Amino acid sequence: MHVLRTLDDALALREALRAGPRMVVAGAGLLGTEAAVAARALGADVTLVSSAPVPLLGLLGPQAAGLVAATHRDLGLRVHQGRVTAVRAARDTVTGVQLADGGVLPADVVLVATGSVPNTEWLHGSGVPVGDGVVCDVLCAAEPGVWAAGDVANRPDPRTRRRRRLEHRTHATEQAMAVARNILAGGAARPFAPLRSFWTDQHDLKIQVFGDLTGTDRCHILQGTPSERQFTAVYYAGERVLGAVAVNMPREALRLRVAVESGELPTTDHPADPTPAGATEG
Ligand SMILES: Cc1cc2nc3c(=O)[nH]c(=O)nc-3n(C[C@H](O)[C@H](O)[C@H](O)COP(=O)(O)OP(=O)(O)OC[C@H]3O[C@@H](n4cnc5c(N)ncnc54)[C@H](O)[C@@H]3O)c2cc1C
């Protein structure tokens, strides 16, 4: 059984994939889907177990998530909707996974990619507020003299008006810089309210997302088309822009990010795509 957190984890998984085994990936988030696609490309016979009917729908929106699903099909990667409840083994060797519906998927290699738990046990009893991560305010302060940044920080997000803990590399870096500025600013500390931003590489798709697509009700394609596997799109809730996606357009993605942040979006002749985005956060 494998997890993917460190370089050693990645090397061990690559070694286990050399023989082209049957592999089950439990969890179809960013990590699980990327690992499944990469393992399939290396020759493994891969089944991805997803609790959602379409992996990454809420995170990437229907257009990009549809392209990812098509890529899975083209690569011969099976997606099984369900929930893994246990890893099965016989004589210390993995034999498969148990599913919540009573089914069993046979496997020689199992990758568990079902999310992470913040490492906060050592803070219990210290007085630092701990919930899902270190609970801090909008300035990223947990209590006087204690600050939180990165995956562990659970903060109110002024953009979505809810608490959140994000696990994205760029977010961790931006928050670390904001915390440093706030420590030095004293009474002039400023709220940390970044535009959510992450990317995922899925086979030949480089997908960049800015903002949140959860709760959006319409999409406008700005450049390219999904069928060309190259496009930029903006997602709205009513008249409000909630986020944007760029697929295989990294140069345009930078401009798109600035446009979403400033609210000044480029106009286009392309018709609006009325397809609703997914309703859940992936
Ligand atoms: C396999 C993998 C792929 C990823 N791919 C992407 C990607 O494509 N794009 C993206 O945006 N993000 C990606 N991420 C997420 C990204 O890596 C994290 O968001 C980022 O590393 C968070 O940085 P951090 O400093 O908050 O936490 P970490 O990088 O986890 O660093 C925390 C450090 O603190 C140490 N630590 C823990 N407890 C203590 C303690 N008590 N005392 C001292 N040290 C302690 C840990 O050992 C660790 O070194 C990926 C993550 C993984 C695991």
pLDDT digits (tens, 9 = 90+) for 9-32: 999 999 999 999 999 999 999 999
Judged by phi (left if over 0) then psi (alpha if -120 to 50, else beta), residue 186 lies in: left
Q: What is the pLDDT of residues 164-194, one digit of tens each?
A: 999 999 999 999 999 999 999 988 999 999 9
In contact, 114 and 27? CB cutoff 8 Å: yes
The CB of 6 under 6 Å from ligand 1? The reply is no
126 in contact with ligand 1, CB cutoff 6 A:
no
Tell me the ipTM for this assembly. Answer: 0.97
pLDDT values of the chain reduced to their tens digit, one per residue, 282 residues? 999 999 999 999 999 999 999 999 999 999 999 999 999 999 999 999 999 999 999 899 999 999 999 999 999 999 999 999 999 999 989 999 999 999 999 999 999 999 999 999 999 999 999 999 999 999 999 999 999 999 999 999 988 889 999 999 999 999 999 999 999 998 899 999 999 999 999 999 999 999 999 888 899 999 999 999 999 999 998 888 889 999 999 999 999 998 888 877 765 544 445 454 443 333
Cα(61) to centroid(ligand 1), Å: 25
> From the CB of 133, is ligand 1 less than 6 Å away?
no
Structural domains of the chain sorted by starting position, each given as residue range(s) with its CATH number in brackets: 7-112 (3.50.50.60), 121-188 (3.50.50.60), 203-273 (3.30.390.30)
